[in-house]
Amino acid sequence: MSHALADSATMLRRNVKHMLRYPSVTIMLAGFPILFLLLFVYVFGGTLGAGLGGGRSDYIAYVVPGILLMAIASAAQGTAISVATDMTEGIIARFRTMSIARASVLTGHVIGSMIQTLVGMALVLGVALLIGFRPDAGPVDWLLLLGFLAVVTFAIVWFAVALGLVSKTVEAASNLPMPLMFLPFLGSAFVPTDSMPAGLRAFAEHQPFTPIIETTRALLAGTEVGSDGPIALGWCAVIALVGYLWSRSLFNRDR
């Protein structure tokens, strides 16, 4: 166990060094959600805020949780590309000739991507605060939010690792996670689900991102999470388990 932990720490340092040497990647992954935040607040915010019974400031509070989930989904694309790059450029073959724990390679990618994703979300949240977002969360709510977003990130990153492993090329790895980036649009990220047509509403209310967004929204507002919290954690457990088992199977098969 100590050998595996030491190897995982080494692989984590490798991924963190990549992140520090190329900070533009983190900025780019946060840039896409930030652009959507500015677009929806300043272009659509007045009209959509009025539909919620308020104004632009009310819509900022409504839309930020969905944008944070978009940041996680956007970072998943970077994770898949990083894994696919390692798999196609021969470094994994080199690692397999060395006396290191096999699991440490994927563990380094997962933890490194989690750090990068949390930094990206911090940038998104910082921009949201600059344009007028004023959450009512207390200290406990912020701690719960940080833990909850870390759990969500862990689940999505493991799934992204599997997508990177299953991709035959880096280009394919950049495309496979794209549906994750659009799921918030088909949930409660930008408009309430009860404003949608019946069929779309049924999908929106039962897809994974909606309870995750609603839980994030409740924690930022300092209100009761309700049943969305356990449902969101259940979805995270399923996604993480599927991603981990799929990743392990693909990595062990590709010898």
The residue extents of the domains of the chain are: 2-253
Q: Which of 26-40, 84-98, 126-140 has the highest mean pLDDT?
A: 126-140
* pLDDT score at 235: 95
Between these two residues, 109 and 137, which has the higher pLDDT value?
A: 137
d(CA 247, CA 244): 5
Ranges of H-type helices in the chain: 2-21, 23-42, 45-51, 56-88, 91-96, 102-130, 139-166, 170-175, 178-182, 198-206, 209-221, 228-253
Q: Which residue has the tokens 């300043």?
A: 42
Quote the distance between the C-alpha of residue 167 and its chain's center: 19
Give the pLDDT confidence of 88-121 residue by residue, as tens digits. 777 776 776 666 666 677 788 888 888 888 888 9
For 29, 63, 143, 217, 237, the CA distances from 148, given in Å and listed in that order, are: 20, 18, 9, 12, 12
Mean pLDDT of the chain: 85
* pLDDT score at 179: 84
Mean pLDDT of 29-37: 86
**Other beta carbons within 10 Å of 99:** 6
* 32 token code pair: 């896409």
d(CA 188, CA 65): 10
pLDDT band at 11 (very low <50, low <70, confident <90, very high): confident
